[in-house]
Amino acid sequence: MSKKEEKPFILSRPLTLIYKLPISKTLPFWEGLKKGKFLTTKCKNCGKMTFPPQADCPSCYSSEVEWVELSKEAELLTATAIMVKPTSFAQEETYIVAVAKLKEGLKAVGWLKGIKPDPAELKEKIKPGMKLKVETVVPKEGNPYYVFIPA
């Protein structure tokens, strides 16, 4: 395919947007990651657990929730490897994003480490039911997060 010549244009005034994302209501989750803990919320009224954690129960609408520790045991549901990355992830190596089912029955989205993101290896290894564990990561710069690794 030949690339057509660009038509005349004027560059817009540049705009850089950086949002402040409130975490007051999920602070225990982020603090927990720093201590190697994988926490979420459980409704004191109806017992529903949610992931990601949220301060208000989406089931009974109670705002009385408590923080509970998750087991870090999970199994793979599905995964992809991001070869074409967004601008703000341009510096990252190709990463695998997985959806996993936690032992507690909740599902979570996160990076899957420990598998080479090349198509042949992915085709062989990305199978539902693969046993995973959750690891917490505290980078030198930036926010703590969690990853899945093969158990």
Q: Binds 85, which of other proteins, Zn ion, none (CB < 5 to 8 A, cut-off by type)?
A: other proteins
Task: Please state the closest distance from residue 151 (CB atom) to other proteins, in A.
Answer: 19
Given the complex with Zn ion, which of 44 and 103 has the nearer CB atom? 44
Q: Binds 57, which of Zn ion, other proteins, none (CB < 5 to 8 A, cut-off by type)?
A: Zn ion
Q: Tell me 33's DSSP state.
A: H
Task: Please state the closest distance from residue 144 (CB atom) to other proteins, in A.
Answer: 10
Cβ neighbourhood burial of 99 (10 Å; 0-12, 13-18, 19+): middle
Task: Please state the closest distance from residue 53 (CB atom) to Zn ion, in A.
Answer: 13
Between 77 and 116, how does the x/- string for binding to other proteins read (CB under 8 A)? xxxxxxxxxxxxxx-x--x-x-x------xxxxxx-----
Q: Kindly provide the b/e burial profile for residues 5-32, where b requires at least 16 CB atoms within 10 angstroms of the residue's own CB.
A: eeeeeeeeeeeeeeeeeeeeebebbeeb
Collect all residues with Cβ–Cβ distance below 8 Å to 48 and sequence separation of at least 6.
42, 57, 58, 59, 60
Given the complex with Zn ion, which of 60 and 138 has the nearer CB atom? 60
